[in-house]
Amino acid sequence: MTLVDTVKQDLVAAMKAREADRVGALRLVLSELQKSAKEGDGDELAVLRRERKRRLESAKAFREGGRDELADGEEAEARTIEAYLPAEMPEGELRGIVRESIAEVGASSPKDLGQVMKVTMAKVDGRADGKRVSALAREELGA
């Protein structure tokens, strides 16, 4: 069963349970997944990560603007989307991969961060956020 099918089934279940917030989030996710498939992208996980990131950024902006109720809604949508993503990689495992990548590319200074990021992001395969990887890589490179 594809991710789109799973989201469709969950959407129907949420509609039957009258979970309005969840229905809205799932409709949005389904729309974005279908749009991505139509455009030929085909990377469903990238769509989910992008949509989760948008929700979290919106929530942050709402909190800074003093709109906590709207921020709560955005965070709830982000949690709904997160349920379809693979589990985040633990800190220790990610640090090990970053160190491995640094050794692989022969990085010795912060100037080599781009190469390290490229290799590391390919290895983590969407199980870690780019900000986390970047922070660990900078730390390991002494930046």
pLDDT digits (tens, 9 = 90+) for 19-61: 988 999 999 999 999 998 888 776 888 888 889 999 999 999 9
Total-model pTM = 0.75
The closest alpha carbon to 113, from 91, 93, 76, 141, belongs to 141
Do 47 and 36 contact (CB within 8 A), yes or no? Answer: yes
Architecture of the domain spanning 91-141: Orthogonal Bundle (1.10)
Dist CA 63 CA 69 (whole Å): 9
List the domain boundaries for the chain. 3-82, 91-141
What's the chain's Rg over C-alpha atoms?
18
pLDDT digits (tens, 9 = 90+) for 74-107: 999 999 999 988 888 888 888 888 888 888 888 7
The CATH number given to 3-82 is 1.10.1510.10
